Amino acid sequence: MGAAVCSRFRGMAGSLGLVTLCFVATMISPAVQRAGAVGQPPHLAGPAATPLMGWSSWSTLRTAISEVDIKVQARALAKTLAPSGYRYVNLDDGWYVDPGYSVDPYGRWLVDQSKFPHGMKALGDYLHGLGLKFGLYITPGIPAAAVAKNTPIEGTTCHARDIANTKKFDANYQSATAMYAIDFKNKCAQAFIDSWARQFASWGVDFLKLDGLDSSTIDVAAAWSHALRSTGRPFYLALANTLQLPDAKSWKMYGNSWRIDSDIECYTNCNALTDWNEVLLRFTDDPPWVTVSGNGGWTDLDSLDVGNGHLDGLTKDERQTYMTLWAISAAPLYTGDDLTQLDSFGIQLLTNKEIIGVDQAGVAGHPLDDTGLQQVWFAKEPDGSYAVALFNLDDTTTTAVTLNFSTLGITARASVRDLWHHTDLGTFTKQYTVSLPPHGSSMLRVKPVQMS
C-alpha cells in the first residue's frame, strides 16, 4: 500500500520456526488479554469506533491512478461491498506531481491534472454522492520544490526555508530528494501542516494515510494529528508503515491505525498481487500488538487481497485464512483488489456477515496454542462468547486442529457455530476438533453451556 521503496523490496517472510518462537514470547492469558490496552484519546475514536472497511488503490493500480479509474472502482464498491460496510475509497500514492519539481502556491503537493482534470474536491463530491468516504495519501516532510521556490506558508509571514531542514531528506520517500525533513522547533512548521490539513478538509477528505513514518518521525504524526483535529472535520488518520512496538503509545495517541509490516503486495518473482509468505509474516508480527488495538485505534495488517481469484496469487484455502486472520485480529478490512473482477468466492469471503461481525466487534485476538504449525487464536467478544480461529499452517498435510475449551476458561460443555458456513455444529464436551487442509482455517463462535 504505497510504502517506501526500501520496504517494498524487502526479502520474503521468515521461517515458520520464527513464527513459533514469536508466539511463545507473546502468549497472553484470557484474563489479561484486554487489561493492558492503551487508551485512545476521545477526539480520535469517532471515525474509528470499529475497524475501517473499504478499498485502497495501491495493490491493483499502483501509481497509475486516474479520476476515471477511481470512479470505476468506487461504483463497483458501492454496488458489491458497500452494503456489507465497505465505505472508504482510499487513493494511495500517485495522485500528485513529483514534489521535487512542482508544488502549489503554498508549497503543498500539486494535484496531477493529467490524471485528475476536475480536481480533488470534485472527486470527493462524487464519492460522497455514492455514499462513500474519500481517502488520500501523504508522506512526511516539505517538498524540495517548495524550498527551492521559498513558497509562503499560508496564513503566516513564514516561508518554506524557515521550516526546512535541508541537511536531511525524508529517506522513506520513494524519491530520496523530493522531500526535506521539517524542523518542528520552528513555530511555523505546525502552521504549514495545518494549511495542508485545511486544504484536504476543503476537498472533503475523510481519511489520510501518513506513510514513511518511523521512530524518528513521531513529531510528524503528532503535527498531522493536531492539524486534522483543528479543521473541525472528522478524519481517520492511518499511520504507516512497519511501525515498532516500543512506540505503540505514540502511534495510538496520534492515529486511528498503525501499519506494523511493510507492504502485503508481492513485488519480485511473482505475477500476482501477493503470495502466501506475505500473509504468513502477519502471523508472526501481529500478536505482540494485541494490547494496543481497540477503543478507536487498530493494528493495520495492510490490504485484504482475497477477491480476485488467481490474480491474488493464493489458493482458495489461503484466501479464506487471510480473511480469517484479519478478522480475528480486528484489523482494518480494506481490499486492494480490482473490484470489477471480483469472483464469487471472493465476494463470499468479503461479505460474510458473521466474519465481518468478529472484526467489527473490535476485540483483537491472539494465539492460544503455539505448539507447532497448527494455531488456535481467540477473542472474547462483548457478549461473553468467544470468537475462535483455527489455522493449519503446514504446507502439505491436512491436519486435525483441536480447541481445548479449558484454554478459554470453559470447564465443561460449549456450543460451537461455524461462522464461515453459518452452521450450528452442536454442543461439545471439553474440546472441538476440525480437520484443516494445508494453509486452511476455520472460524467458530464458542459459548459455554450452563449445566442444569
Residue finishing a domain among 309, 331, 365: 365
CATH number, position 437: 2.60.40.1180
What does the pLDDT look like over 225-255, one tens digit per residue? 999 999 999 999 999 999 999 999 999 999 9
350, 215: one domain? yes
Let me know whether 300 and 343 are in one domain.
yes
pLDDT mean over 399-409: 96
pLDDT above 90 covers a percentage of the chain that reads 85
Q: Answer for the pair 1, 264: CB distance below 8 angstroms, yes or no.
A: yes
Same domain as 409, residue 309: no
Do residues 57 and 175 share a domain?
yes
Give the rounded distance of the alpha carbon of 410 from its chain centre: 33
The stretch 344-373 carries a mean pLDDT of 93
If asked whether residues 273 and 189 sit together in one domain, one would say yes
Containing structural domain, residue 158: 5-365
Residue 48: count of CB within 10 angstroms of its CB: 24
Check whether residue 83 and residue 13 sit in a common domain: yes
DSSP summary character for residue 398? -
**CATH number of the domain bearing residue 22:** 3.20.20.70
How far is it, in rounded angstroms, from Cα 80 to Cα 400? 35
Domain count, the chain: 2
Mean pLDDT, rounded, of the chain? 90
Is the same domain home to 47 and 190? Answer: yes
Question: Are 247 and 377 contained in the same domain?
Answer: no
End-of-domain residue from the set 299, 334, 365? 365
Global pTM value: 0.91
CA gap 142, 187 in Å, rounded? 15
C-alpha cell at 101: 519539481
CA 440 – CA 61 distance, rounded (Å): 29
Q: 374, 437 in Cβ contact below 8 A?
A: no
For residue 16, what pLDDT is reported? 34
pLDDT-derived band of residue 413, with 50, 70 and 90 as boundaries?
very high
- Range 106-122 average pLDDT: 98
Quick one: pLDDT band at residue 20, thresholds 50, 70, 90?
A: very low
Q: Does one domain contain both 326 and 377?
A: no
pLDDT at 12 over 90: no
Q: Check whether 81 has a pLDDT greater than 80.
A: yes
Q: At 38, is the pLDDT very low, low, confident or very high (cuts 50, 70, 90)?
A: very low
Q: Which of 35-39, 81-85, 271-275 has the lowest mean pLDDT?
A: 35-39
Output the pLDDT for position 9: 27
Same domain, 168 and 192: yes
Helix (H, G, I), strand (E, B) or coil at 89: strand
Q: Do residues 258 and 393 share a domain?
A: no
CA 390 to chain CA mean position, Å:
22
pLDDT of residue 21: 30
pLDDT tens-digit readout, 248-295: 999 999 999 999 999 999 999 999 999 999 999 999 999 999 999 998
- C-alpha to C-alpha distance for 367 and 375, rounded to whole angstroms: 7
- 79 and 185 housed in the same domain: yes
Lowest mean pLDDT among 78-92, 288-302, 368-382: 368-382
Q: Which pLDDT score is estimated for 169?
A: 87
Domain end among 338, 365, 392: 365
pLDDT bucket at 174, cuts 50 / 70 / 90: low
